[in-house]
Amino acid sequence: MKLRTHLAAVVTTGALLLTAGCAVTRGQETAGEYAEDAKITTVVKARMVEDKAVDAAAIKVQTLKGTVQLSGFAKNATEKAAAERIASGAAGVTSVRNDIIIRP
């Protein structure tokens, strides 16, 4: 009986450890947040492609919990500002982090 109880405890502990890897931990997104962030990224990137003032191929867009991060290169300050304006105007965006480098 004692062996059976011990074995049950080991199996239960193992199951808990394995399923804990599937749980969302602090700092991670839920599936819904991930989908919303992917939507924001797609909208921002599409608007950059449409806008002739921005070279969409030179600018990377990433979104995490509504915060859009722009990185890459711009030809001038006007292009950098236009990219930030486009990102700020998308629905669901809470803030924009503009890390674009101006490269002549």
**Tens digit of pLDDT per residue, the chain (104 long)?**
565 655 555 555 555 444 444 444 446 678 888 999 999 999 999 999 999 999 999 999 999 999 999 999 999 999 999 999 999 999 999 999 999 999 97
Largest Cα–Cα distance in the chain?
Answer: 77
pTM for the full predicted model: 0.72
Q: Yes or no: say if 46 and 59 are a contact pair by the CB < 8 Å rule.
A: no
Cα distances (angstroms) measured from residue 78 to each of 21, 29, 46, 75: 45, 33, 19, 8
CA 73 to chain centre: 20
Cα distance between residue 24 and residue 46, in whole Å? 30
